Amino acid sequence: MNVATDMRDLSIAGLSVSGGAGPIVRDVTLSVRPGQPLTLLGESGSGKSLVAQAVMGSLPPGLTASGHIRLAGTDLLAAPAAVRRKGWGRTISLLPQEPWLALDPTMRIAGQVAEVHRFVHGRSAQESRLRAEENLAEVGLDRAGTLYPFQMSGGMCQRAAIAITHASDSALLIADEPTKGLDAALRDGVVERLKQEIAAGRLVFTITHDVAVAGALGGMIGVMLDGRLVDYGPAEEVLSAPTHPYTKALLAADPATWQRRVPTQAGAPVVTGRALAKAYGGRSLFEGLDIEVSAGEIVAVVGPSGCGKTTLGNILLGLAPAGSGTVERQGGVPPVRFQKLYQDPPAAFAPHQTIRRALADLVGLHGLSWGKAEALIARLRLGEHLLDRRPGEISGGELQRFALARGLLLDPVFLFADEATSRLDPVSQKEVVELLLEIVRDTGLAVLLVTHDGALADKIADRAVLLDRPAAWVSRRACDALTTGLAPCF
Amino acid sequence: MRRFLLARLAQAGLVALVVGTLSFALMRALPGDAAMRIAAGRYGPDAMTGQAADKVRLELGLDRPWPAQFLDWLETLARLDLGHSLVTGAPVIEELKVQLGASLWLAAAALLISLAIGPVAGVLAGLRPTGWADRLGLAASVSLRAVPPFVLGLVLILVFAIWLGWLPPAGFGTARDLVLPALTLALGLAAVSSRVTRDAVAAVARAPHFAFARHKGLPEAVVVRRHGLRNAAIPVVSYLGLQAIYLVEGVVVVESLFAYPGIGHALVHAIVERDIPMVQGTALAMGLIFVAVTACVDAASAWLDPRLRSAR
Amino acid sequence: MSTGLDVLTASRPRAVTARGAGAALIAALAAFTILGPLVIEVDPAAQDLSASLAPVGGDYLLGADHYGRSLLARLAHGARLSFGMAFLTMLTAAVPGILLGLVAAWRGGLAERAFELLANIVLALPGLMLVLLLLAFAPGHFGPLYLGLALTLWVEFYRVTRATTTSLLKEPHVEAAKLLGFGPAYILRCHVLPVIAPLIATLAAFAMATAIIAISTLSAISVGLQPPTPELGSMIVELLPYYAEAPLHVLAPAVLIVLLVLGLQLVARGEGR
């Protein structure tokens, strides 16, 4: 029995990947068994994708792998490239990241599934077509065969990619960042599908930066940092009792593990929207929506992408007109004290200006003192040396803190944080959120937090507005809203 | 699809309007009596008398205010009545028929030769970006594009017609006469289309969907045939629309240079001789052919790219 | 699996050298066109029939043409004419093109639609056709040639400015600047101009190359500038009958045109196609 099981394993021993400048991945040892999937966690640049590429045999030119990778008893690294390529689609298949880019934009979906049967497995055209229909039906796309990728949603593209791996019917499935670019609802759907693959006896090897995905898949978890495997063990052990400091920081950065913020005594209303409605492209985003944000309060707006969260924030800021309804802002407060934080920090700064120039111009425009800027920079734990860089030369977390400093220079009463941490790595996200909470506590800033991350909203918001697709909205205490039956909207 | 066609129809209308308006303005701007000029064109300079001119003036309403004449002019144009040449007296449409045929042969030959050179060189370069074929192609393309077509034509005449004596320097009638002018145009076209093809091929080779096709396990030939060709052809074909501009402009220059009796040559002659009906007729014909070529390119692009088909 | 090595970085040094070579070429040619006519104190129209088709390197440094006119002087004046006219044409096209593009992007509405219609009218015909039709009013004259070229070339400046500015104005950093209290002048200076300036510079070099080709071509097919004006295109055609006796004389103006255009294209492209 033991031998038979071993024959089906993927085992990686002492794997290193080297480029011209020396090793990038060092001494990685892992294994995947049927029923025991493996998930590699790490940031971009940690080397986790290179491990997957070494297994697949698709390392970029100039990189070489050494060590052993055994699949079903044969050492893959010992085989020549041409032989390894013969294994693609037969013994190993890949679930690509961002499948809406990985599908051929000019071919109908059914054809992209059928060609695996036809050209990889050598079946007749007729049989390939029938089997492709089956594969699509398995993932609930039975009527989508005639669509082109650009006519499908991100979730549908993801399912089509899974149908293609079904057509391969390979022993090993490598999923490369399968939830990248998907919102929470679709993310859970993908995890469900991967669990079905595991239950069906396939070897599943997943690469992700999302702790929640790793936890949901179970099996073994490996944590990569700077090309090394720093933690490795059964999912429950790694997640409940991490040994390496990086793993601890990574887990502590997951909003699901945070302490819930104690609601503060709210002050006077700063922004009030009444009976707001907005339609986009003939589709109603929301109707009759009431929202109020008071000083010292954090109000979350939660919902899937495309539900109108950002539009709602822009209406409250006066950047977009409401379809109907009224917006009332605290009287006597100048417009510049209503500020916004953006999702993509580099896009929120003029690309050709140094940070120093941007801040100095702002200080000059409003007749402030540079000392105030310096104090804020120190408070947000930013180094002076970063000031002379351009936005593209600073990490996302630091740049978002500069954006916060820029807004705080004008003593805002209201801040619209538009998915302000969703593009940051988990550790940076935690830093930015902690600083924001500190400022809310100290200055009585009112925050409108737009996010697709229910856990984040749950932990830090006083109240939440849930925007669901069919123009429904609910407002109540965050913890109630987010733990009751409204979950499908995530 | 329908939107594309409507846009091209509108463009054709604009072409007629621009050409018609400029020709009318030209008629009014020329010194001397327009009626006399037309009468001379119609009846020959010898038979032209004051009476004949008066007759023409009355018939064409040349004594009316200019806005009325302008509307008349456009209406005549809308009926595709292009009038008579002021120089030969022959109906413009008859002259156009002959010249257009000659020019179409030239343009078609140029396009065919350029397609045999440009995309082939582009694919070779694009498969190995920064390889030797790419470097060679870039150098050739950059140098060729710095050479104006008339200089290129002169160089080809000097080399092939005069020094080597392989081909006639000018003339019309046989396929040999077509080679040098067509080659002049084709080299200019290929200089650009080779780089467009190179970029398209390199982009597809880098595209995630191309990598995924390999990872699916498809054999290389199938990957290229099913996921490479069509995707790489999309930008190349849509660029042909821009090349139509070069082709039309080049026909004027090259025909004049090689004394090739086509429509471009006729246009330049008509301008020098102030033969306004011929200027209008030739410019209109070339403009409309330009629009027709662009419309064909639109249709080919839509056939290749489903994203364009569905965009309404 | 995105951890690929960026193949494109390999071509960047080549782009820099191409740009540098182009700039050096243009600088050398500019010096020739500006200083040449000053240093060479020979009238380009002065005939000396005894020196007809004088060879290169004799009394005349670059020889003389069939009328015995100094080829060096004629080349210097011809290059100055091409370069100067191309520069003037480019400016005449660029200034309104950029301004209208900015207005269209900023204001939108009726102004934008009017400019679009104007651009579509110009683009309905290939550029050279429009220039030819305008030249029909006064063949051989500078005015219609200049006007026609500027009229066809402004569209590209307009379109690029409008498209880039429209998408820039939708960027978060412009919205952020407005929220922070900055006015249109600041946004134009610090957010829009730094992005469009390099594009405009590229277009300007291309426009000048196009103008130089068009001027010489139209003169060569005898609807542009006419002899005895020392124009490079018409010089080639004038000297062509003597290609057997003096092949270098025919080649010289052609080489000058090619170098001018090559320099401008290298500056503009630097890399890519």
Q: Which residues lie below 8 Å from residue A486, measured CB to CB, with a gap of 6+?
A: A466, A468, A474
Residues 6+ apart with CB under 8 A from A109: A103, A136, A141, A144, A145, A146, A147, A148, A149, A152, A160
Q: Is residue A487 pLDDT above 50, yes or no?
A: no
Question: What are the residue ranges of helices labelled H in C171-245?
Answer: 172-179, 184-186, 193-220, 232-239
pLDDT bucket at A2, cuts 50 / 70 / 90: very low
Mean pLDDT of C20-36: 84
Question: Which residues of chain C are at the A interface, by a Cβ-Cβ cutoff of 8 Å?
Answer: 1-5, 171-173, 175-177, 179-182, 186, 190-191, 194-195
* C130/B contact by beta carbon, under 8 A: yes
Residue A423 is predicted with a pLDDT of 80
Looking at the predicted structure, is the pLDDT value of residue C167 above 70?
yes
Enumerate long-range contacts of C212-216, CB under 8 Å, 24 or more apart.
Answer: C212/C82, C212/C83, C212/C86, C212/C257, C212/C260, C212/C261, C212/C264, C213/B148, C213/C257, C213/C261, C214/C127, C214/C128, C214/C131, C214/C149, C215/C82, C215/C85, C215/C86, C215/C145, C215/C149, C216/B148, C216/B150, C216/B151, C216/C82, C216/C257
B217 within 8 A of A88, measured Cβ to Cβ:
yes
A151 interaction partners in chain B (CB closer than 8 Å): 310
Nearest to A336 among C171, C181, C186 (CB): C181
Which range, A110-114, A174-178, C247-251, is most confident? A110-114
Q: Tell me the longest C-alpha to C-alpha distance in chain C.
A: 77
**How many Å apart are CA A372 and CA A370, to the nearest integer?**
5
CA distance A143 to chain B (A): 19
- Please report which confidence band the pLDDT of residue C87 belongs to, taking 50, 70 and 90 as the band edges: very high
Q: Do B306 and A148 touch (CB under 8 A)?
A: yes
In angstroms, the separation between the Cα of residue A165 and the nearest Cα of chain B is 8
Q: Is the pLDDT of residue C273 over 50?
A: no
Contact A120 B218 (CB under 8 A): yes
Dihedrals phi, psi of A169, to nearest 5 degrees: 55, 45
**Mean pLDDT score, A462-477:** 60
Closest residue in chain C to residue B194, using alpha carbons only = C273
Number of A to B CB contacts under 8 A, please give it: 77
Indicate the average pLDDT of chain C.
84
Domain B92-311 adopts which CATH fold? MetI-like fold (1.10.3720)
Instruction: Look at residue A232 and tell me whether its pLDDT is greater than 80.
Output: yes
> Which residues of chain A neighbour B217 with C-beta distances below 8 Å?
86-90, 93, 116, 119-120, 168
What's the confidence (pLDDT) of residue A476? 40
Amino acid identity, position B260: Y
Indicate the helix (H) or strand (E) that contains C27.
helix C12-39
3-state secondary structure chain B: CHHHHHHHHHHHHHHHHHHHHHHHHHHHHCCCCHHHHHHHHHHHHHHCCHHHHHHHHHHHCCCCCHHHHHHHHHHHHHCCCCCECCCCCCEHHHHHHHHHHHHHHHHHHHHHHHHHHHHHHHHHHHHCCCCHHHHHHHHHHHHHHCCCHHHHHHHHHHHHHHHCCCCCCCCCCCHHHHHHHHHHHHHHHHHHHHHHHHHHHHHHHHCHHHHHHHHCCCCHHHHHHHHHHHHHHHHHHHHHHHHHHHHHHHHHHHHHHCCCCCHHHHHHHHHHHCCHHHHHHHHHHHHHHHHHHHHHHHHHHHHHCHHHHHCC
Instruction: Give the pLDDT of residue B45.
Output: 64
C221 touches chain B (CB under 8 A): yes
The answer to whether C173 and C231 have CB atoms below 8 angstroms apart is no
Among the ranges given (B216-220, B252-256, B264-268, C233-237), the one the predictor scored with the smallest mean pLDDT = C233-237
Contact at CB, A361 and C190, closer than 8 angstroms: yes
Answer yes or no: is pLDDT of B107 > 70: yes
Please give the Cα distance from A276 to B109 (Å, whole number). Answer: 65
> Which residue of B lies nearest to A95 if distances are taken between CA atoms?
B212
Decide yes or no: CATH 3.40.50.300 for domain A10-250: yes
pLDDT confidence of residue C149: 93
C129 touches chain B (CB under 8 A): yes
Contact: B142, C269; criterion CB under 8 Å: yes
Which residues of A are less than 8 Å from B204 in CB distance?
A: none
Name chain C's partners: 3 or more CB pairs within 8 A. A, B
Over range B129-138, report the average pLDDT.
88
Nearest to B198 by CA among C11, A63, A150, C160: C11
Q: How many Å apart are CA A338 and CA A387, to the nearest integer?
A: 24
Closest CA to C270 of B142, B191, B246: B142
Q: Please report, for chain C, the start and end positions of each structural domain, with discontinuous segments joined by +.
A: 4-272
| Binary contact (C236, B279; C-beta < 8 A) | no
Q: Could you give the CA distance from residue B143 to residue C262 in angstroms, rounded to a whole number?
A: 7
| DSSP codes of every residue in C106-151 | HH-HHHHHHHHHHHHHHHTS-HHHHHHHHHTTSTT-HHHHHHHHHH
Order of strands across the sheet with A172-176?
A92-95, A172-176, A203-208, A38-41, A220-225, A228-234
Among B249, B251, B269, B291, which would you mutate to test the C interface (most chain C Cβ atoms within 10 Å of its Cβ)? B249
Between A470 and A376, whose confidence is greater?
A376
- Give the pLDDT of residue C272: 41
Q: Which residues on adjacent β-strands are paired with residue C70?
A: C64
- Touching subunits for chain B (3+ Cβ pairs under 8 A): A, C
CA nearest to B258, candidates B163, B160, B151, B153: B153
pLDDT number for residue A474: 44
What integer is the mean pLDDT of B115-129?
A: 90
Average pLDDT over residues B116-139: 90
Question: Pick from B211, B216, B306: which is nearest to A164 by CB?
Answer: B216
* Yes or no: domain A257-483 corresponds to CATH 3.40.50.300: yes
CB-based contact (8 Å) between A151 and chain B? yes
Q: Using an 8 Å Cβ cutoff, are A39 and A98 in contact?
A: no
Quick check: A340 and A416 in contact, CB under 8 A? Answer: yes
Chain A hits for B208, Cβ within 8 Å: 96, 98, 101-102
What ipTM was assigned to the predicted interfaces of this complex? 0.84
Q: A105 and B215 in contact by Cβ < 8 A? A: no
Domain ranges of chain B: 2-78, 92-311
Q: Which residues of A touch C (CB under 8 A)?
A: 49-50, 52-53, 56, 58, 60-63, 94, 96-97, 176, 317, 319, 335-336, 338-340, 342-344, 347-353, 361-362, 365-366, 403, 406-407, 410
Half-sphere exposure of A195 (CA within 13 A, CB side): 12
- Give the whole-angstrom CA distance, residue A314 versus residue C55: 76
The confidence score (pLDDT) of residue B122 equals 92
Closest-CA distance of chain C to residue B11, Å: 6
| Rounded Cα distance, B182 and B115, in Å | 12
- Chain B nearest-CA distance from C254, in A, is 7
Chain A residue nearest residue C1, CA to CA: A49
In DSSP notation, A409-434 reads: TT--SEEEEESTTTTS-HHHHHHHHH
pTM (predicted TM-score): 0.84
pLDDT in tens, C186-200: 999 999 999 999 899
Tell me the count of A-C CB pairs closer than 8 A.
75
- pLDDT score of C137 more than 70: yes
CATH of domain C4-272: 1.10.3720.10
By C-alpha distance, which of A429, A433, A449 is closest to A43? A429
Q: Where in chain A is the domain with CATH 3.40.50.300?
A: 10-250, 257-483
- Decide if pLDDT at C203 tops 50: yes
Identity of the residue numbered A69? I
Q: Cβ of A350 and C191 within 8 Å?
A: yes
Query: What contacts C230, CB < 8 A, 6 or more positions away?
Result: C44, C45, C73, C74, C75, C77, C78, C81
Looking at residue C59, its pLDDT comes to: 65
